[in-house]
Structure 1
Amino acid sequence: MHYAAALIVRRQLEPLNLFLGFEQANRYSIEDDQGQPVAYLAEEETTFSSAIFRQLLRTHRPFKAVIMDSEGRVMLKLQRPWTWINTHINVLDANDNLLGQVMQQWHLWRRRYELFIDMICAQRHEQFAQIDAGFLAWRFELMDEEGKVMACIDRRFGGFAREIFTDTGQYALFFHPDYLAAYEGHARNQLSMVPLTGDQRAVVLACAIGIDFDYFSRHSHGGMMGGGG
């Protein structure tokens, strides 16, 4: 995964969603902290029946997505099985090897996620971060086992009219301590100084997509996913 100090993830405009309320496959652009495009995420559009399922199941639907670099090469794959309450996203490399997982934890009024990295040599999953955000949170801090902030997923408001009338949104993913200190207001002793690996960053990116899907997509409002999200 790209080693920029921060990434900006933008959900793309869905014209049929805007005008007809028709749920289209999700697409996201991914930029570095200098505004340069580094990747593109596209939900797979497979069959006509999958389009029908999107309308019926909305945010409960399963989906598969690919993350491609600027030259169209597949970097990562995301797989989310059908769910009724809690999000579960698998993160795979281009050869379908499992890299990690994002698991949402149900809570009546909190927004909680656990992030795991897949330890192939040990044949087990290892948790490296967790999120425990408030009921209406727009900022999601990733904490290590000592309670220090490793990274942050920050939902950025894209303009009032745009937010109300379209299904777009953007997120800043902060990885570097300098960004966390400057933009999130943390003291240095509150921050983890251990850099995230490429695989961990890929799982953080998948978590941002899951958060957008669960809480900020138009069709997530009023749903049962996410423990009251």
Structure 2
Amino acid sequence: MEYSGDAHPLPNYVHPVPQPPGYIPPPTIESMPAPQRPAGCPPGLEYLTQIDQLLIHQQIELIEILVGWESNNKYEIKNSLGQKVFFAAEENDCCTRYWCGPLRPFTIKVLDNYGQEVLTLNRPLKCASCCYPCCLQELEVQAPPGNPIGYVIQDWHPLKPKFTIQNERKEPVLKIEGPVCHCKCCSDVVFEVKSVDETHVVGKICKQWTGFLREAYTDADNFGIQFPMDLDVKIKAVMVGACFLIDFMYFEQK
């Protein structure tokens, strides 16, 4: 190779390969590798076939801390090893967030590590008062988007938070029961997941204590979800939706 002046060739230099538009890089080691999808499993939910617990971390929004303006919620969903499984983001307008607060209707889209939407969670506008049992909270879970796979329905109770998890045919599959007081200081708040007859505890949704400063100045919460390993993958996905509904109902700042 001929060259002049002080310039020297760069050994073993490889030019970057251009990528096509819309290219999404493969997940890193921080992400959970995708297992093989079994028959009947909606696309993207194969991650849930090999785990019995999830960690959900709500991201802290700086604008909420500085000016107190509620922004769309965003969550990272990880396995017990801390590997990323999903990312969830609320889609809402500022007027709905401001005027309706934690009662607001929402659409939450859940994406896998490749950026593909695998779950859509829809919450309509409903009353939250125990004095109106005809207008209780509910949530529809779709996978893939547009195809309902289950529902979370609030059960009326004068004191305790109670919910029913239903399958796509609106048949009851599990029950959720929370404590009378969900405002506990320095401790976790546990919502037990029970069998339909409420005689056996099969899992839990736990709101984790995150410390005085974070609890006082933000509404960014951490949750843990536990369920049986052999539970239908669709019902596992509906439990994720139940966790988001519980967060909005009981732990979002008014």
The correspondence for 2:58, drawn from 11, 22, 25, is: 11
Match of 1:172 in 2: 224
Q: Which residue, 73, 88, 93 being the options, matches 1:41? A: 88
Change (3 A) 1:90 1:160: same
Name the counterpart of 2:149.
Answer: 99
Which protein is bigger by CA-based radius of gyration? 2
What is the CA–CA distance in structure 2 between the aligned matches of 1:141 and 1:92, rounded to whole Å?
24
From the two aligned structures, give the one with the greater strand fraction. Answer: 1
Equivalences, count = 193
Verify: 1:23 aligned to 2:34, yes or no: no
| TM-aligned CA deviation for residue 198 of structure 1 | 0.8
TM-score (norm 2): 0.72
1:126-162 Cα distance to aligned partner (Å, 9 max, x none): 1111122221241011111342122211111112211
Q: Deviations over 1:88-143 (max 9, x none)?
A: 1100012410100001123221111111011xxxxx31111112222124101111
Answer yes or no: is the 8 Å Cα contact 1:5–1:174 preserved in 2. Answer: yes
Greater mean alpha carbon deviation, residues 101-110 or residues 197-206: 101-110
Post-superposition Cα deviations, 1:19-75, rounded to whole Å, max 9, x if no partner, equal 212111111110001110110000114xxxx21121001122111111001111111
Aligned: 1:213 with 2:244:
no
1:154 aligned partner: 206
2:231 corresponds, among 196, 202, 214, to: 196
1:128 paired with 2:173, answer: yes
On the 8 A contact 2:165/2:175 being kept in 1, the answer is: yes
Please report the TM-score for the alignment, with normalisation by the length of structure 1: 0.80
Structure 1: distance between partners of 2:123 and 2:145: 17
Cα-Cα RMSD: 1.4
**Which portions of structure 1, spanning 4 or more consecutive aligned residues, are displaced by more than 4 angstroms?**
none
Higher relative contact order (CA 8 A, sep 6+): 1
- Structure 2's unaligned 5+ residue stretches are 1-44, 129-135, 183-188
User: Structure 1 residue 70 and structure 2 residue 113: aligned?
Assistant: yes
